[in-house]
């Protein structure tokens, strides 16, 4: 990895590193039971029923972002974060990108806690859906043709994924919807409160 690449996208690589470290610990600490419900819970996955009776465990609104249910789940989300994350970090800036990623993840896990508390939930997809939603909002209001097109592409991606979620019971659509809400709210806040146009060229 070139030093300049790290400097341009420090938050993306930090998140990739933390998630990879967490995934490695899952297997080091739990051997072949790494994806068992109890192992996931001990690693920080969301289990709403438990959190509802133990408010001190509200830290589980954050930790599920870094926990994954199997190698395929981990690889898919990390590849998405690598490609989409770098682009999003360039659009929003490092601090806003990091805040957006965490906020969307927390919102997604809050939706799971409230609406599907009986489910063991984990994964970065709550945060990734938030990134998609934020880019859609900014693309809609931006004067940049590139951001307009990117927003339309991400909107199509969101729709396809949600339809897929409906026919895949093992995928937590509740968390994804929460992530979308979190990302959209963050983007709207920046547009109204900060009056930022975000006319940053992707790839500049």
Residues present in the chain in total: 204
Question: pLDDT category, 155, cuts 50, 70, 90?
Answer: very high
Question: pLDDT category, 181, cuts 50, 70, 90?
Answer: very high
With a CB cutoff of 8 Å and minimum separation 6, the contacts of 139 are: 147, 148, 149, 150, 151, 152, 154
> Percentage of the chain surpassing pLDDT 70?
91
- Return the number of other C-beta atoms located less than 10 Å from residue 72's C-beta: 9
Question: pLDDT category, 171, cuts 50, 70, 90?
Answer: low
pLDDT digits (tens, 9 = 90+) for 11-41: 999 999 999 999 999 999 987 788 999 999 9
Asked whether residue 200 carries a pLDDT value surpassing 50, the answer given is: no
> H helices within the chain, ranges in order?
3-8, 10-30, 37-43, 48-53, 71-80, 86-92, 94-115, 125-141, 145-166, 173-193
Sequence spans of domains, the chain: 3-193
**Second-level CATH architecture of 3-193:** Up-down Bundle (1.20)
Supply 23's token pair. 């995934």
Q: Give the mean pLDDT of 111-120.
A: 95
pTM assigned to the model: 0.90
From 125, 127, 142, 144, the catalytic residue: 125
125 is catalytic: yes
pLDDT digits (tens, 9 = 90+) for 119-143: 999 999 999 999 999 999 998 888 8
Task: Please report the pLDDT score of residue 170 as a whole number.
Answer: 63
């Amino acid at each position: 990895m070139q030093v300049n690449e790290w400097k341009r996208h420090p938050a993306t690589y930090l998140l990739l590193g933390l998630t990879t470290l967490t995934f490695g610990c899952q297997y080091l600490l739990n051997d072949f039971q790494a994806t068992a419900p109890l192992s996931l819970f001990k690693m920080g996955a969301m289990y709403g029923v438990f959190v509802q009776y133990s408010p001190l465990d509200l830290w589980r609104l954050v930790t599920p972002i870094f926990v994954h249910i199997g190698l395929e789940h981990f690889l898919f989300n990390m590849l998405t974060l690598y490609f989409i994350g770098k682009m999003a970090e360039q659009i929003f800036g490092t601090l806003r990108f990091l805040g957006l990623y965490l906020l969307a993840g927390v919102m997604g896990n809050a939706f799971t806690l409230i609406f599907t508390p009986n489910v063991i939930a984990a994964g970065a997809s709550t945060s990734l859906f938030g990134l998609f939603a934020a880019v859609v909002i900014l693309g809609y209001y931006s004067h940049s043709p590139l951001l307009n097109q990117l927003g339309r592409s991400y909107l199509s991606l969101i729709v396809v994924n949600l339809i897929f979620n409906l026919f895949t019971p093992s995928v937590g659509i509740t968390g994804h919807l929460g992530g979308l809400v979190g990302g959209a709210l963050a983007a709207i806040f920046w547009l109204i409160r900060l009056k930022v146009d975000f006319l940053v060229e992707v790839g500049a």
